[in-house]
Amino acid sequence: MPEDQGVMGKRSVACAALIWLAAAWAATAEAADSAVVLLYHRFDDDRIPAFNTTSSQLSTQIADLKNGGHVVMSLADVVGAMRNATPLPDKAVVITVDDASASTYSRAWPILKKAGLPMAVAVATDEVDRGGSEIMSWAQLRELAASGVVIASQGAGRLHMAKAGAEAIAADLARARARFEQELGAAPSILVWPYGEASAESMRVAREAGFVAAFGQHSGAAWGKANFFYLPRFAATAAYGEPDRFRLAVRSLPLPALDVSPDDPLLKVNPPAFGFTLAEEVPGIEGLACFASHAGQLRVERLGPRVEVRMDKPFPAGRGRINCTVTTLEGRWRWFGWQILAP
């Protein structure tokens, strides 16, 4: 694994898990250029139900992954493969957890470790420095890193980076990098946008800060030809983690969308003239449907490979989402999501 793909320690994976991984990979019928990245927050903590996943739910999801022929990979390995255009196994899946909750260490990690599955944890360094019973300590993060867990950065102060200026973003990322280097011996090169919020300017600053990829909180399969600084993740918490929805999400394929407009998720015009170009022929594209979080199903117009999505109603202030999906002949869904921020 490339050293610049995140803070990784020595791998400590059970032999049985390695055998399962090799068998699942060998059983793959075809190579892919995408992976489904799952997003979790807290475990067995129902104070914020939308962020919670129970231990029972997580165990059921792990069983679904193993029984469904999925190959669970580290975030670093998937990012590295996509950057190098190295084929990924079909049904590749990554497990990521935001916010460094103590429940990730006490509840989720023992289950994942027993199953031999890797995970990544996204950390805002100021929160770890403040400490307390609800956040992991640096010692616990060092233990996870030494066990092969990828540590990703959420910056230092969990900024709303789409709204912050370039200098403030750069300073926040630099402060976090210094703390990671001091506490873990190296800094992450994978960024997770706090709140899923990003802008064209924040992406530029992240790239200049040395990050190689950044992930949001919008739905879809992460695709090797997409914008590496605005890659999607499927939420797997609460209702999003219910069996039917979970199985649909982890089997999803990317809708090969390029030349997305507007390319800046921070809207300058509202409603936006949203559209994208299909990079390749998509069988069944006539069934494409697009939805907005504030307006329901939208009108779709096509001119050859170009898809234009029309909406009359402006997004309300704050975060909003657009999802475009089409089913495949195999019953899997191609999925392209985009999160916007309306001032």
- Could you read off the pLDDT of 281-319 as tens digits, one per residue? 999 999 999 999 999 999 999 999 999 999 999 999 999
DSSP state of 301: E
Sequence-distant (≥ 6) Cβ neighbours of residue 100 within 8 angstroms: 121, 122, 123, 124, 127, 128, 135, 136, 141
Q: What percent of the chain has pLDDT over 90?
A: 88
Asked if residue 3 has pLDDT above 50, the reply is no
Q: Within a 13 Å sphere around the CA of 280, how many CA atoms are in the beta-carbon half?
A: 6
Asked if residue 21 has pLDDT above 80, the reply is no
Confidence bin at 330 (pLDDT 50/70/90): confident
What is the structure's pLDDT at 30? Answer: 57
What is the structure's pLDDT at 17? Answer: 39
DSSP state of 30: S
Helix, coil or strand: residue 276: strand
Asked if residue 2 has pLDDT above 80, the reply is no
Give the range among 27-36, 136-145, 222-231 with minimum mean pLDDT.
Answer: 27-36
- Could you read off the pLDDT of 258-273 as tens digits, one per residue? 999 999 999 999 999 9
What is the structure's pLDDT at 6? Answer: 39
Q: If you average pLDDT over residues 235-256, what whole number do you get?
A: 95
What is the structure's pLDDT at 288? Answer: 97
The tokens of 137 are what?
């300590």
Asked if residue 81 has pLDDT above 80, the reply is yes
The tokens of 327 are what?
């089913």
For residue 342, the surrounding DSSP H or E stretch is strand 333-342
- Could you read off the pLDDT of 141-166 as tens digits, one per residue? 999 999 999 999 999 999 999 999 99
Q: Is the pTM of this model over 0.95?
A: no
Asked if residue 15 has pLDDT above 60, the reply is no
The tokens of 230 are what?
């605005």
Cβ count within 10 A of residue 252: 23
Sequence-distant (≥ 6) Cβ neighbours of residue 136 within 8 angstroms: 100, 101, 102, 104, 105, 121, 123, 128, 144
Q: Within a 13 Å sphere around the CA of 41, how many CA atoms are in the beta-carbon half?
A: 18
- Distance, in Å, from the CA atom of 63 to the CA atom of 68, rounded to the nearest integer, reads 8
Integer CA distances (angstroms), 306 to 106, 152, 301, 340, in order:
48, 35, 8, 20
Q: Which position has the higher pLDDT, 11 or 246?
A: 246
Residue located via tokens 């969308």: 257
Q: Within a 13 Å sphere around the CA of 208, how many CA atoms are in the beta-carbon half?
A: 12
What is the structure's pLDDT at 1? Answer: 31
- Could you read off the pLDDT of 205-245 as tens digits, one per residue? 999 999 999 999 999 999 999 999 999 999 999 889 999 99
Asked if residue 19 has pLDDT above 90, the reply is no
Asked if residue 75 has pLDDT above 50, the reply is yes
- Distance, in Å, from the CA atom of 250 to the CA atom of 93, rounded to the nearest integer, reads 7
Integer CA distances (angstroms), 135 to 1, 97, 123, 129, 130, in order:
28, 13, 10, 9, 9
What is the structure's pLDDT at 64? Answer: 97
Contact criterion met (CB below 8 Å) for 232 and 337: yes
* Nearest one of 340, 336, 207 to 273, comparing CA atoms: 340
Q: If you average pLDDT over residues 30-40, what whole number do you get?
A: 91
* Nearest one of 180, 117, 185, 115 to 152, comparing CA atoms: 180
Sequence-distant (≥ 6) Cβ neighbours of residue 332 within 8 angstroms: 251, 252, 253
Q: What percent of the chain has pLDDT over 70?
A: 91
Asked if residue 24 has pLDDT above 70, the reply is no
Give the range among 3-17, 67-81, 323-337 with minimum mean pLDDT.
Answer: 3-17
Helix, coil or strand: residue 114: helix
Q: If you average pLDDT over residues 129-148, what whole number do you get?
A: 97
